[in-house]
Structure 1
Amino acid sequence: MRGFVAAALTLVLATPAVAQDKPGYELVWADEFDKDGAPDPAHWVFDTHANKTGWYNKELQYYSADRAENARIEGGRLIIEARKEMLSDRADHGGQRYSSARLISKGKAEWTYGLFEVRARLPCGKGSWPAIWMLGATAGWPDGGEIDIMEHVGKTPGDVFGTIHNRSTAGTFGKGGQIRVPDACEAFHDYQMLWTPDAISFAVDGKPYHRYVNEKSGAAQWPFDKPQYLLLNLAIGGAMGGDVDDAIFPIRFEIEHVRVYQLKR
């Protein structure tokens, strides 16, 4: 059965990124980043809520809002840029020496199940920590669950991680897998996640590399039957990012599209 699921996932994820070529799925939401300027407020909001107190994994960045230096659409791409600078004139500044941005779809778009695809080129350099991920919209962490579609840290360039966090994994590094993408910092790749009632599967460019199964043991292990929202961010340092090389800045996390497909009804 697992081999069949993997083969089906490969078929769905490996086809070109248009709805009619993904068997059984239709495009329900997308941002193609085709209009220069600020990120579309109909799709995204800036998340700045922990700037003053500090972010949760000992990260070192200040997340700005509505600031083109940190988040803008340019040439058909969303650019999230981290810079070495102190924005100490801002009321919510927490002493951070770096600026960046964190965009979320909370309150704009949330989903239960689907095929998620983000085409991106990642930054490298020690201390960089870009992520494409999802959080539960109806409960806090970890009870609402977390799906890390893509994480990458510059200290191990080319190692891409997909991870699940929930109440049953709290206190651990989560349940996940990794795949080598040697040119992740030079080329664009499709970072993908297929979420069904039975499992969550991760892939890059249609190649599956990790699958988390619903064991039907309860909400602690599977809170993934409720809506989640998307997050795109570029963190600096912290528990996963590690030591920071200041010579890398500024660095860019570039995203060509975000697409969400769901089963046709």
Structure 2
Amino acid sequence: MKKLQPIVPLGLLLIVTSCSSQAQVIFEDNFEGDQLNMEFWSYEEGDGCPNLCGWGNNERQIYNRDCVSIEDGKLVIEAVKTGDKYFSGKINTKDKIEFQYGTIEVRLKLPTGHGLWPAVWMLGANIDEVGWPGSGEIDIMEYVGREPHTVYSSLHTPASHGETENSKKTIIEDIEEGYHTFKTVWTEDDIQYFVDGDHVYTFIPKAYDDANYPFRHPFYFLINLAVGGNFGGPEVDDTIFPAKFYIDWIKVTKN
């Protein structure tokens, strides 16, 4: 993949065009170097308390920036157990990389084990004003270790959130083996999902209002590895630690 250098002054993302394609590359991170690019990313830390204990899902991990690293051109988020506590990592691009519509692609390698919940997802940049689920949520990839060979493609809206009806489970027998590419095509009217080039789901809302399609404003990225929780657990197999979630690259283009 060609390395591009987006210019991001004071949280505003400038469009960078690719010489080899008609698509505009509006964001790209290949995780080169020896540390996370803080022009793009911020750490989230703690257990969510007091406002969102367990991060709203009864998750068991405490997020710590020391669990996030760059190794051999990969973003690595590691989950560990120390004593009776679980630690892991979470990063986001809030106030730094925010965009509206585009094709999102991410190449990653999943961690495995009962109790793990890796995810690449997006939240509306207006979340501080309208809260969740008013902001909308686009889950590019979710996987839970208690359901081998299965990935989730989901959307959360005011009309359907939590155990949302806007979701597709896809069985892929070798999803735990090596790296796979997840693509989400987000437009004004629908959101399409692909895994390794194969179409797996298209979301078309019942109505184009804020309750059913809160996806007509800028969003930002989140990448994390949760432990336990309502979706990932509740049981956790302590023999699986340490566990690592690898992200090779992430890119957004717009035609």
Indicate the TM-score class for this superposition, using the shorter chain for normalisation: 0.7 to 0.9
Superimposed CA distance per residue, residues 5-37 of structure 1 (whole angstroms, 9 cap, x where no aligned partner):
xxxxxxxxxxxxx96776x5221111101112x
- Cα deviation for residue 215 of structure 1 reads 4.0
- Deviation above 4 Å: which 4+ runs of structure 1? 18-22
- What is the match of residue 185 of structure 1? 176
1:74 aligns with 2:71: yes
Superimposed CA distance per residue, residues 67-124 of structure 1 (whole angstroms, 9 cap, x where no aligned partner):
1xx11000010000000025xxxxxxxxx71000111010110111000011000000
Task: Give 1:26's match in structure 2, choosing from 20, 24, 47.
Answer: 24
Shift in CA distance, 30/173, structure 1 to aligned 2, threshold 3 Å: same
Aligned residues: 232
Structure-2 separation of matches of 1:189 and 1:226: 28
1:209 aligns with 2:200: yes
1:261 aligns with 2:249: no
Q: Secondary structure at the match of 1:144?
A: coil
Task: Give 2:223's match in structure 1, choosing from 228, 232, 236.
Answer: 232
Superimposed CA distance per residue, residues 133-164 of structure 1 (whole angstroms, 9 cap, x where no aligned partner):
00011132101100001000111122000000
Q: Secondary structure at the match of 1:187?
A: coil
Question: Does the CA-based 8 Å contact 2:154-2:167 persist in structure 1?
Answer: yes
- What is the match of residue 247 of structure 1? 239
Kindly report which structure 2 residues correspond to 1:169-184, keeping only aligned pairs within 5 A, or say none: 169-170=160-161, 172-184=163-175
Shift in CA distance, 21/244, structure 1 to aligned 2, threshold 3 Å: farther
Q: Secondary structure at the match of 1:169?
A: coil
Q: Secondary structure at the match of 2:56?
A: coil
Superimposed CA distance per residue, residues 181-223 of structure 1 (whole angstroms, 9 cap, x where no aligned partner):
2222221010110000110011101111111114444110011
Structure-2 separation of matches of 1:46 and 1:176: 28
Q: Secondary structure at the match of 1:80?
A: strand
- What is the match of residue 132 of structure 1? 120
Structure-2 separation of matches of 1:59 and 1:189: 26
- What is the match of residue 58 of structure 1? 58
Structure-1 separation of matches of 2:20 and 2:230: 40
Structure-2 separation of matches of 1:260 and 1:160: 21
- Cα deviation for residue 49 of structure 1 reads 6.0
- What is the match of residue 14 of structure 2? none
TM-score, reference length from structure 2: 0.86
TM-score, reference length from structure 1: 0.83
Kindly report which structure 2 residues correspond to 1:34-113, keeping only aligned pairs within 5 A, or say none: 34-36=32-34, 38-48=35-45, 50-53=47-50, 54=53, 55-65=55-65, 67=66, 70-85=67-82, 97-113=85-101
Q: Secondary structure at the match of 1:123?
A: coil
- Cα deviation for residue 171 of structure 1 reads 5.4
Identity of paired residues, percent? 38
Supply the RMSD in Å over aligned alpha carbons. 1.8
Q: Secondary structure at the match of 2:174?
A: coil
Task: For structure 1, list consecutive stretches of 5 or more residues without a partner in the other structure.
Answer: 1-17, 87-95
- What is the match of residue 12 of structure 1? none
